[in-house]
């Protein structure tokens, strides 16, 4: 009788296809899959509400996928993951633990603690690297430093061999008797707020939903470079939450895109590489989750206006493109990337509210909230990160709207009060009279706000 081995799911790896830890575990013994909800391990960046909504459903989907091959997903609460693993080792007599490495600083500490505890027990610990295209730490400049500029990082990534082909679902030997499991409800992940009703309409969490989305997007890949900046179309893949939860591996995405579009997949693979860049940066500079990479920004004279922050969060700034984005976020847990840049720029430059507040809001409301990419994106916009937009590049929320949402279809979709306006007027509603005034006046004068932000930036420059 072969020994039991634990397959430790950690929430960024919720799939059975192309699952290296599963495949390795299956070769070694009877597979015991477990997800441990360990709040004490999570620190200040525990998954936000939208991510918990997704996680709850993705775990249900994973349990089904595992069930189809004869495995059962064990769910457990534990103070620390290491406690949960030790308990399960006792109960099952398992001889090894397989899992996938994460890139977050807190997760690295957990991995170290688990490695230590398992070594003490003489239990094998197999930490597999599969959440990025290139292994964390493997991407180095000629001087041996981490890349801090995207383009050289990208070129270097593309010079590597193509990622290996995705693995099929392995043949598995199930356990003969299964340890007890909590129910998904007992984990208490689902936020059960009223607002989550919109999320279910927009998404299908789980591996099947992910593969379906990849399949569908493959048909549009040829138009990606034309359409990707247009929030009024479905030009982007919308794979980000699936990748975040590992319902799809980056190399599955890579090969899926190659099969669908061959060399034409390049512009989209470049975006997939941005995802890798974020994870490599977070791994190299873990403190950047709440501190600017470029240290002079610590002295920036940020505004503490809580009221303004609320107005931005609600999507009531009076700038239609910004408000449409913030409302799309609230209703669907997702925002088009072009609009993320504009909305983020508005918070940081027009309102001069520090990027950490924006990052926290996105963290709580995005279904694809990923610490590495959220940090990269906000520091990019704020101008304080790696390969950041220079601070003096201030987006104009009106002209950006006119450029990328020329008929204002996106704005009118998400801001009902503007629906009666023509495409031309919807981006500048203050020029026309709105019956009932259901849409707010602009909360700032953009031209003045821009000048104020540039002046503040001048203060901190060396």
CB of 448 to DNA, least distance (A): 11
CB of 338 to DNA, least distance (A): 6
User: Looking at 23, 99, 196, 400, which residue binds DNA (CB under 7 A)?
Assistant: 400
Q: What x-and-dash track marks residues 411-450 binding DNA by CB under 7 A?
A: -----------------------------------xx--x
The interface with DNA within residues 287-306 (CB under 7 A) comprises none
Binding of DNA by 454 (CB under 7 A): yes
Alpha helices in 139-180 (DSSP H): 150-159
The interface with DNA within residues 380-399 (CB under 7 A) comprises 389-390, 392-396, 399
Q: 44 or 390: whose CB is closer to DNA?
A: 390
Q: 98 or 297: whose CB is closer to DNA?
A: 297
CB of 396 to DNA, least distance (A): 4
CB of 382 to DNA, least distance (A): 13
User: How far is the C-alpha of 252 from the C-alpha of 262, rounded, in Å?
Assistant: 14
Pick the closest to residue 375 from 284, 239, 247 (CA basis).
284
User: Looking at 287, 310, 424, 458, which residue binds DNA (CB under 7 A)?
Assistant: 458
Contacts of 222 (CB under 8 A, 6+ apart): 261, 264
- Residue 182 near residue 78, CB atoms below 8 Å: no
Single out the segment in contact with DNA by CB under 7 A; choices: 96-104, 257-265, 303-311, 334-342.
334-342
User: How far is the C-alpha of 85 from the C-alpha of 88, rounded, in Å?
Assistant: 5
Binding of DNA by 88 (CB under 7 A): no
Q: Count the residues of the shown chain that bind DNA, applying the rule CB under 7 A.
A: 22
Pick the closest to residue 101 from 88, 114, 89, 90 (CA basis).
114
CB of 366 to DNA, least distance (A): 16
Provide the 3-class DSSP secondary structure of residue 26: helix
What Rg, from alpha-carbon coordinates, does the chain have? 23
The tokens describing 184, both together, are: 């998904």
Q: How far is CA 41 from CA 38, 63, 84, 282, 374, in A?
A: 6, 23, 12, 18, 20
User: Looking at 28, 72, 80, 403, which residue binds DNA (CB under 7 A)?
Assistant: 403
DSSP string, 389-452: PPTT----HHHHHHHHSTT-HHHHHH-GGGTTS-HHHHT-GGGS--TT--SPPPSS-HHHHHHH
CB of 45 to DNA, least distance (A): 22
CB of 429 to DNA, least distance (A): 18
User: Looking at 38, 341, 347, 367, which residue binds DNA (CB under 7 A)?
Assistant: 341
Q: 169 or 460: whose CB is closer to DNA?
A: 460
User: How far is the C-alpha of 29 from the C-alpha of 25, rounded, in Å?
Assistant: 6
Binding of DNA by 72 (CB under 7 A): no
CB of 248 to DNA, least distance (A): 20
Q: 125 or 147: whose CB is closer to DNA?
A: 147
The interface with DNA within residues 236-275 (CB under 7 A) comprises 271, 274
Q: 227 or 337: whose CB is closer to DNA?
A: 337
φ and ψ at 361, to 5 degrees? -65, -45
Task: Provide the b/e sequence for 265-283 (b: ≥16 CB within 10 Å).
Answer: beebbeebbbbbbbbbbbb
CB of 268 to DNA, least distance (A): 12
Q: 390 or 462: whose CB is closer to DNA?
A: 390
Contacts of 45 (CB under 8 A, 6+ apart): 104, 106, 289, 363, 371
Q: How far is CA 337 from CA 276, 316, 419, in A?
A: 16, 20, 23
The tokens describing 337, both together, are: 């990337």
CB of 22 to DNA, least distance (A): 32
Binding footprint of DNA on the chain (CB under 7 A): 150, 229, 271, 274, 337-338, 341, 389-390, 392-396, 399-400, 403, 446-447, 450, 454, 458
């Amino acid at each position: 009788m072969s020994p039991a081995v634990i397959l430790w799911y950690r929430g960024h790896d919720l799939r059975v296809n192309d699952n290296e830890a599963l495949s390795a575990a299956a070769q070694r013994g009877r597979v015991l899959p477990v997800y441990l909800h360990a709040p004490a391990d999570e620190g200040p960046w525990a998954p936000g509400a939208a991510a918990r909504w997704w996680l709850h459903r993705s775990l249900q989907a994973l349990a089904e996928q595992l069930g189809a091959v004869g495995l059962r997903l064990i769910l457990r609460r534990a103070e620390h993951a290491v406690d949960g693993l030790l308990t399960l080792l006792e109960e099952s007599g398992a001889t090894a633990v397989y899992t996938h490495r994460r890139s977050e600083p807190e997760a690295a500490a957990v991995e170290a603690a688990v490695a230590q505890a398992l070594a003490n027990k003489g239990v094998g610990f197999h930490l597999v690297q599969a959440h990025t295209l290139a292994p964390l730490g493997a991407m180095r400049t000629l001087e041996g430093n981490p890349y801090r500029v995207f383009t050289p990082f990208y070129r270097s990534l593309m010079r590597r061999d193509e990622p290996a082909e995705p693995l099929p679902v392995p043949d598995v030997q199930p356990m003969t008797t299964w340890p007890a499991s909590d129910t998904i409800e007992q984990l208490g992940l689902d936020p059960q707020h009223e607002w989550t009703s919109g999320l279910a309409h927009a998404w299908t969490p789980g591996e099947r939903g992910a593969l379906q989305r990849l399949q569908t997007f493959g048909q549009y890949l040829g138009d990606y470079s034309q359409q990707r900046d247009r929030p009024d179309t479905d030009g982007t893949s919308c794979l980000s939450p699936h990748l975040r939860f590992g319902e799809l591996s980056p190399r599955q995405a890579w090969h899926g895109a190659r099969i669908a579009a061959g060399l034409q997949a390049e512009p989209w693979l470049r975006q997939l590489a941005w995802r890798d860049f974020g994870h490599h940066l977070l791994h190299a500079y873990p403190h950047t989750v709440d501190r600017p990479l470029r240290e002079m920004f610590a002295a920036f004279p940020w505004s503490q206006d809580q009221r303004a922050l609320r107005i931005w969060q609600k999507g009531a700034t009076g700038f239609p493109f910004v408000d449409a984005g913030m409302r799309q976020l609230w209703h669907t847990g997702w925002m088009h990337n072009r609009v993320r840049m504009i909305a983020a720029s508005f918070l940081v430059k027009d309102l001069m509210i520090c990027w950490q507040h924006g990052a926290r809001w996105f963290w709580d409301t995005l279904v694809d909230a990923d610490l590495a990419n959220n940090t990269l994106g906000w520091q990019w916009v704020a101008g304080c990160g790696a390969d950041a937009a220079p601070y003096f590049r201030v987006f104009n929320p009106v002209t950006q709207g006119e450029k990328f949402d020329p008929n204002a279809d996106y704005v009118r979709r998400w801001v009902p009060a503007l629906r009666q306006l023509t495409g031309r007027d919807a981006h500048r509603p203050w020029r026309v009279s709105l019956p009932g005034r259901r849409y707010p006046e602009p909360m700032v004068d953009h031209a003045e706000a821009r000048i104020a932000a540039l002046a503040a930036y001048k203060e901190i420059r060396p």
